Structure 1
């Protein structure tokens, strides 16, 4: 408790506000390296100072982003270009220390107005000047600490102002020696750790030095509303349908009086047609927390995770209205969802389970690093990436501890698409001393005390909790990746900061701790991370809440072409382990013999196409295997990992350029809320029901198709299943073993309701008795009919029809392309992809994209036994 009280005055100086009278300083910046000017900030920030030698700057952006935008370095995402960029460890800090300058217009129009300057993220330390005045008394430190300055008295009378910021890199920057986080010393800062390199990324040469997040100007009256806090209480076990019992809404806010006299007034908001208000007086210079009366919301529209229900959101405007003249001093727009999140300890699995609105949620999650390794973040990109996770039928994203506290725009997208979030704080077992590691500069005892400033770490925790706590998607806090922070930090977080500033979410001490998932198997409690026999996912019991388990994930040839030169398009050889230098640099992990089972690849394109078959099979099996044992072995699983912040060749469902691969659609299939599936280990046909409703009178049908398209009905039976569980029905292994022996076969499963409406279907391609797909290699061509019709602007419906005399039209990739260049239009969202069409069947796929002027879109389709064709959109 005492630690929190000591830190609060610091946070009051740097707290952040966002409302309608705010604008972003995101254009017209200029920058220069510190070595190219001898002048100081008091001089540079004078509007009359001539910015000779300065270049155009990108803000928000890092130094490396600015160098790239000014064509001073090659694209570090292409080939081995990153090796051509000097590393700060070798150059020294001055090489990446830069001045950033911005001219802007703003002045005081009436007495009592206040103007505030906000920085949402600078890495790592800085001094800030405005119109010849230094705003911060001493150098500011911390990547995860927002800054606020009242600049009212320093504004130019004519409204022509100049802001100058000098940004210094982290210190130390760490030796990128190939270890996880390099030599580990990057963790002495309160910063992100992946920038010194990891097993899935190369080092970022400037360690992301720069003004990396938004800079804004805010205008208020004397009272500035800050850090509004909304808590929603939803007692009992709730369901989607019908009227809801009431929910309680609790709202509080910090009120900062920047004036020279006591201000009295009403703090208020409106919700459900009612006004909720409290009267308060705030002394000059004071910062107080005001709580409004609890509001009972009748029949609330609840927020649910993806797959379980809708993501309803509410909006309120929290205002402070002065008693004198009834003037609005400040207003904050707040969006929130009405929901309550709890956790229980499951004594059967011996792991924690998550409940939303009183209902158990089986966690199907993905590990998230960061949207872009160079922190080129945007709301549109966040929206696209989170939408992909929604389309995978996942319901949680874990923000990994070696990266960021994710931005509000990330959480906005998670709120919108129903992705719960487990937010790690900034530690890792690698850098922070969990393991003996010869790559690290300092011993475990020393590393265990990282970072150097525990006070800064705790101040950053307080600030970031306040920044994101209102988002309904935020479900769990986590002390760090595979390790807790130092004990004094952990105790303060657990016993005072999180309870006082949030109080509604569980804090996991570290990502694979026994408090989340008891580990009876030894080791680290997570993984494995490489390709596996798909039977393993079904048969081998792993950790009951597995925070990291994954497989391969390279893209197809169109994806590879974006960053691998033609001369480096060389198939990796798994027997000799010979891997091309560019592939190795981009962190390729092997597919081993799994691709050869489809026939020795002829070239890299063939290799990449066959890799998609493996991708689909791996991730469908991963999620099905965990779902098959929900509440028996498992309460959840989080895939390592679902996205890459650069052009890597592992662990991704879509590439850096937002082009999905077959991993995404394998997950889309295997994770669907109501799902029929097949256990290849014992031949068992099962159903997983991740919904809150029972299913009755559903028809389970099991068919087999041979390589010529001839079908055999193995069985069909009416069945039923209770909510949120999986259920075994019957084994078809004895039948299939005989039928697949020579050539393999297709196994088709379907579930239909009593009106014959299809609820779920699933097509497996099964190998022959040697484990090879010999039948696929001999399949005849299937000629399909494809139609594409525009249903609305940016929405296309594609219909793929297969003749009943054809074989299965197998594994077809649909792409929306520019017909002039044949290049894919990105991002594009498909209701399904890598689809197979049975003989006599018709499949409809919806394509969703944002049209661009002068870009003629068409649909490209090709498959395993279907020739490539381009289809005009009617």
Structure 2
């Protein structure tokens, strides 16, 4: 038997493979229910005329279809959203639509054909070739639907699918509250669509066939919901030979036929094959587990900044009579995640492969408020989080359990994921709120259908549980689910379907981060004095600490009409469009650089504030690593629409200075200066002690004159922060009344720069008077593309010049002058010291001819063609 199996596996490509899977993602049409005088049985027959129906976007929402057909204006631009009818006022029929798709498919012999919907919002009935598929109406946004349609297919293979989709029963009054009047949470749908303090209401509440529709063909057996667990005992290093790891695998096997099916169930992993002979009874679905697999010297998966993200291929197959009846393919990272309470900080500590990880995270809402998801966009957004030197993304509870494609990107780039379920303190009753329709006790019981929630949780856990990046479950945002949901979730569903990850009852619970300070256990959310991040102890593992995020002028131009490009002034009400897009005033921090002359000047100065704010945030938390904190999660790092707060890059994937300030402050090995006492400090997030380090400090005045201070040889321990020496006396002696630059560098004995950091200090009155008087610089700029998709930009500043300060590099289309988005810079908003140069690498996808635009605080905008 063993020799036959080996021969069979080698020969598999030459045997029949009946498994096929493809998406129904084009050729859909739709019509509003009011315009269709027929039922599903009639519409789903080929004789029914759909010639005049509108082209539909599937997967997608009603708004997406209407926008793509130019029936509505872009709701992300200006105040166009106010010109779109809201479902609360129109009634649900206005956004109730029939969707129709014709497709070719038939079953031959023992073939089975399966129709799968990965997400419909909110209720749906499905018809195929004149017959209704679903026995009961599909309900709930966060739930997959799976049907065997073999016997319903047309004999000639010409099929018609018709789906009627209804909005949520309770769409909520978008009255300006968090989640509107809160009743959006009575159903199992996205709460943010009724409006929040960072987004306007989504007018259709995301109604539609919003996620993928798939046809799968198998033989008599269908494999579903594989489950893979990896165990990595002990404390590991990222490199070198590893002790063994254990892999546990199981899979659900369904036989929908009237006869028992016998065969070999097997999986292949790391060059090994584990198999067993099985018989699946007629009309049976069962979960089958394999013997444990020991992997010798495994290649481990690590979070970003700590090691590689190695992913193994795992293939599960059911084989009978030399035919692959079905096959499931996965990417698996071998890693183990544990949590150990830190008594010093009184917060939970995250451990991966036995090593403690200082959490540097960002909060994520959803990739696109209108659910226009693509693999490329997910990849770009997660890569930006990697580029920020973050190691975790938290998925906020008012949106979705993120899609497998998002998790694929997190697996690839090493971002741990903290996944909330669908509850929020705002809608689900944590606080008294005059904007809410129901009182706290009524809201505490939302959603209305608790069994639906439990079914959805089971389904969605199965969908994403195999991803290496998925690290933590969370009951809800700032509140637990109702008790009859929480207890089954804790005591049955997660132990049974996962069993490897911690569940935090809610996002700022004491079990995660003991709240000894008072308040809500998270926040604050506005701009803060950078000193506060170093000086003021806050929650020891803060799930939400927020700040500002206005993009640069080119970003603002994409969604603010020209007539509204008015620089906001401190303590004055901002322009109506700025206000509509949720601007948080922070120009009191801009005024020290000189009151903004116009919107362009405002946006440039805002980037200085952005950079300083997020660098200080992560530096301050890192400086107290393991002493005050086990981690911090920024609220928030991305926007699913064109808002002006809490974003490191805009909706169009154009990064601003927040990203690069955060990237600098989050470096795995980082040199920094405490603004309270001027103490030069180095933080080492790595697993090894570092010896023979040179710590170098210099100062430059506004004319570029250099003042050298000190070099010391020293070491720093693994996963620690060390204070070296203060700069106060040195800076006082300089007595630069109009400000000074401080340059810090960490070098090894070969004088290779391991980390560098440049601060700009104000004059004694807190104003940046020196910066405002700086002489302009004309640096030499060169751009070369030796490898397609990778541009090297060199900026050289001559001796005796002032610092070439705060330069934005932008890769542009040489023909149109428009920025190429997304583009990934290994640094940006850079400063070049006198007599030095910097090389920045820019990566992008595309075939267009490119150029580079560079401009800075004292550097005029210059365009350079890429050679």
State the alpha-carbon separation in 2 of the partners of residues 204 and 580 from structure 1: 22
Matched, 1:654 2:652: no
Deviation at 1:20, TM superposition (A): 5.8
Tell me which residue corresponds to 1:569: 565
Tell me which residue corresponds to 1:236: 234
Tell me which residue corresponds to 2:759: 764
Aligned residue among 860, 863, 873 for 2:856: 863
User: Is the contact made by 1:549 and 1:639 (CA closer than 8 Å) also made in structure 2?
Assistant: yes
User: Is the contact made by 1:19 and 1:332 (CA closer than 8 Å) also made in structure 2?
Assistant: no
Deviation at 1:804, TM superposition (A): 1.1
User: Is the contact made by 2:269 and 2:315 (CA closer than 8 Å) also made in structure 1?
Assistant: no
With over 3 angstroms needed to count, the CA separation of the structure-2 counterparts of 1:699 and 1:277, relative to structure 1, is: same
Map 1:176-575 → 2, pairs under 5 A: 176-322=174-320, 325-575=321-571
Deviation at 1:781, TM superposition (A): 1.1
User: Is the contact made by 1:783 and 1:806 (CA closer than 8 Å) also made in structure 2?
Assistant: no
Matched, 1:873 2:852: no
RMSD, aligned α-carbons: 1.0
**Number of residue pairs matched by the alignment:** 851
Deviation at 1:52, TM superposition (A): 4.3
User: Is the contact made by 2:120 and 2:141 (CA closer than 8 Å) also made in structure 1?
Assistant: yes
State the alpha-carbon separation in 2 of the partners of residues 513 and 586 from structure 1: 31
With over 3 angstroms needed to count, the CA separation of the structure-2 counterparts of 1:77 and 1:740, relative to structure 1, is: farther
State the alpha-carbon separation in 1 of the partners of residues 324 and 838 from structure 2: 57
Deviation at 1:741, TM superposition (A): 4.5
Tell me which residue corresponds to 2:14: none
State the alpha-carbon separation in 2 of the partners of residues 565 and 327 from structure 1: 61
Deviations along 1:397-436, one digit per CA (max 9) or x if unpaired, are 0000000000000000000000000000000000000000
What SS class does the counterpart of residue 305 from structure 1 fall into? coil
State the alpha-carbon separation in 1 of the partners of residues 777 and 762 from structure 2: 20
State the alpha-carbon separation in 2 of the partners of residues 724 and 20 from structure 1: 48
Tell me which residue corresponds to 2:107: 108
What SS class does the counterpart of residue 588 from structure 2 fall into? helix
Deviation at 1:649, TM superposition (A): 0.5
State the alpha-carbon separation in 1 of the partners of residues 101 and 474 from structure 2: 37
State the alpha-carbon separation in 2 of the partners of residues 433 and 139 from structure 1: 29
What SS class does the counterpart of residue 181 from structure 2 fall into? coil
Map 1:581-730 → 2, pairs under 5 A: 581-730=576-725
Tell me which residue corresponds to 1:819: 814
State the alpha-carbon separation in 1 of the partners of residues 772 and 226 from structure 2: 62
Deviation at 1:791, TM superposition (A): 2.2
Map 1:70-81 → 2, pairs under 5 A: 70-81=69-80
Deviations along 1:114-143, one digit per CA (max 9) or x if unpaired, are 000000000001000000010011211011
Tell me which residue corresponds to 2:782: 787
Deviation at 1:856, TM superposition (A): 2.2
Deviation at 1:289, TM superposition (A): 0.5
State the alpha-carbon separation in 2 of the partners of residues 872 and 583 from structure 1: 35
State the alpha-carbon separation in 1 of the partners of residues 143 and 516 from structure 2: 39
User: Is the contact made by 2:31 and 2:97 (CA closer than 8 Å) also made in structure 1?
Assistant: yes
Deviation at 1:819, TM superposition (A): 2.3
Tell me which residue corresponds to 2:57: 58
Deviations along 1:624-657, one digit per CA (max 9) or x if unpaired, are 0000001000000000000000000000000000
Deviation at 1:317, TM superposition (A): 1.1
Tell me which residue corresponds to 1:155: 153
Tell me which residue corresponds to 2:11: none
Tell me which residue corresponds to 1:4: none
Tell me which residue corresponds to 1:842: 837
In the superposition, the TM-score normalised over structure 1's length comes to 0.97
Matched, 1:579 2:577: no
Deviation at 1:740, TM superposition (A): 5.2
Tell me which residue corresponds to 2:4: none
State the alpha-carbon separation in 1 of the partners of residues 587 and 595 from structure 2: 12
What SS class does the counterpart of residue 470 from structure 1 fall into? coil
Deviates more, 1:645-654 or 1:714-723: 714-723
User: Is the contact made by 2:568 and 2:587 (CA closer than 8 Å) also made in structure 1?
Assistant: no
State the alpha-carbon separation in 1 of the partners of residues 529 and 356 from structure 2: 30
State the alpha-carbon separation in 2 of the partners of residues 445 and 271 from structure 1: 51
State the alpha-carbon separation in 2 of the partners of residues 822 and 737 from structure 1: 46
User: Is the contact made by 1:19 and 1:331 (CA closer than 8 Å) also made in structure 2?
Assistant: no
Any gaps of 5 or more consecutive residues in structure 1? 1-17
Deviations along 1:324-366, one digit per CA (max 9) or x if unpaired, are x232110000111000000000000000010000000000000
State the alpha-carbon separation in 1 of the partners of residues 247 and 424 from structure 2: 36
In the superposition, the TM-score normalised over structure 2's length comes to 0.97
Deviations along 1:242-265, one digit per CA (max 9) or x if unpaired, are 100000010000001111111111
What SS class does the counterpart of residue 624 from structure 1 fall into? helix
User: Is the contact made by 2:185 and 2:427 (CA closer than 8 Å) also made in structure 1?
Assistant: yes
What SS class does the counterpart of residue 555 from structure 2 fall into? helix
State the alpha-carbon separation in 1 of the partners of residues 457 and 19 from structure 2: 27
